[in-house]
Amino acid sequence: MAYFDNAATTYPKPDEVYSFMDSFYRTHGGSAGRGNYDLANTARGIVDETRTLIQRLLHCPAKQVIFTPTATIALNMIIQGLIVGEAKNIYISPFEHNAVTRVLHHFEQTGQITVTELTVSKSLEYDLERIRYQFDSLRPDLVIVSHASNVIGLVAPVEQIFELAKEYEAKTLVDMAQTAGLVDLNVGLETIDYAVFAGHKTLLGPTGISGFVMKPNANLTPVLFGGTGYDSANQNMPDSIPEKYEMGTLNIAGIAGLNAALKWITQQTVERLYQEEETQRQRLLKVLTKYGFLTVVGNVENRKYVGIVSCLIDGISSDTAGSIFAERGISVRTGLHCAPRAHQFLGTFPAGTIRFSVNALTADSDFEELQDALEDIEMNL
């Protein structure tokens, strides 16, 4: 099998992730914050250390790290909490995931909010002058930007967009599901209020552990409630952070895996991993553009990308193409990739695209198998 679906979940993980998860959970698998015995204390120690590793990686030592089971839950907690806190005029990029847009659609249907897309040109450039005009016309309460599109890999100029948003005193939220640990971003900037990360994607950890970073004084309204192992007599959520937003038992095995992945990324360096992924992306483009039956979507010179490339096959739907690749041992993602608005913007809605995604750990053998499969497809079209 050749794996080209890293935008969904990176695979394989560094060996250190597998080995540390196994050894830690066999010997220290207690529940953090639920007792003072050794297993619970060790679990709490790995949780605290992993928070610190996230802070270091994202350059935000003064901000708080909240763990959640998924990035979708993290986005829901932030967006719903801010809407309850009376955010009404909300701006998004054209490339947001359904983890953002379905939440907003729900509240938009009730008439509580308005949702406006930031202006992006057909050459895939965020038009900051036009965005300023949009903000002048309708003052933003919240600006949400996916740091990199999960459809075409385009990296957004988050720093410039959020600097502009802060001139209007808007809250800002960056979705780093496709970039944390890969594209260096100073999340410690005052212009960034919230940043969401997905442990199983570019952070190279396991599934089931994600989270977000927030300012300690953000006063985000809780929208999920439950046990915290702390201040249990109080029927309100505790005021202390992270307890205010971490209800239920944390995924200790997942946090252990994320811990090992973060240490591996730190050792390799974010800069090196991005350079290697960009090399792999260029290699992928070189392979794909050799074949006339494939059309690459959304690739523009002099734009910054992560290792995602979307394609179309003339005369064949993306879902049918997925089966064709799967029969030849090639793992790709097809369809709308949970981002229908991105496909509407790109002109590939409703059929979607065939998405290939690589990273620094994509093997030479994966590319060799892909080329063999493409040769076979070309002969049989």
What's the pLDDT band for 91 if we cut at 50, 70, 90? Answer: very high
Please write the tens of the pLDDT for every residue from 110-123. Answer: 999 999 999 999 99
Please write the tens of the pLDDT for every residue from 221-230. Answer: 999 999 877 7
Would you state the CATH architecture of domain 15-268?
3-Layer(aba) Sandwich (3.40)
Please write the tens of the pLDDT for every residue from 63-84. Answer: 999 999 999 999 999 999 999 9
Give the mean model confidence (pLDDT) for residues 188-197.
Answer: 98
Between 51 and 314, the more confident residue is: 51
Strand-pairing partners, residue 144, are 92, 173
Please write the tens of the pLDDT for every residue from 92-141. Answer: 999 999 999 999 999 999 999 999 999 999 999 999 999 999 999 999 99
Please write the tens of the pLDDT for every residue from 160-184. Answer: 999 999 999 999 999 999 999 999 9
Q: What is the percent of the chain where pLDDT is above 90?
A: 88
Cβ proximity of 67 and 207 under 8 Å: no
Residue 28 confidence (pLDDT):
78
**Residue 154 token pair:** 């385009």
The widest CA-to-CA distance across the chain, in whole angstroms, is 70
Give the mean model confidence (pLDDT) for residues 25-37.
Answer: 68
State yes or no: pLDDT of 30 exceeds 80.
Answer: no
What's the pLDDT band for 249 if we cut at 50, 70, 90? Answer: confident
Residue 26 confidence (pLDDT):
86
| φ and ψ at residue 331, rounded to 5 degrees | -90, 115
Select from 1.10.3720.10, 3.60.15.10, 3.90.1150.10, 3.40.50.300 the CATH code of 2-11+270-380. 3.90.1150.10
pTM: 0.96
What's the pLDDT band for 233 if we cut at 50, 70, 90? Answer: confident
Give the mean model confidence (pLDDT) for residues 189-193.
Answer: 98
Q: Are strands 294-297 and 171-175 parallel, antiparallel or unpaired?
A: unpaired
State yes or no: pLDDT of 37 exceeds 70.
Answer: no
Cβ proximity of 6 and 307 under 8 Å: yes
Residue 35 confidence (pLDDT):
60
Please write the tens of the pLDDT for every residue from 316-363. Answer: 999 899 999 999 999 999 999 999 999 999 999 999 999 999 999 999
Please write the tens of the pLDDT for every residue from 366-378. Answer: 999 999 999 999 9
Burial of 249 by CB count in 10 Å (0-12 exposed, 13-18 middle, 19+ buried)? middle
What's the pLDDT band for 32 if we cut at 50, 70, 90? Answer: low
272: which residues sit within 8 A by CB, 6+ positions away? Answer: 360
Q: What is the percent of the chain where pLDDT is above 70?
A: 97
CA count, 13 A, side-chain hemisphere, 157: 15
Kindly list the domain boundaries of the chain, sorted by start residue: 2-11+270-380, 15-268
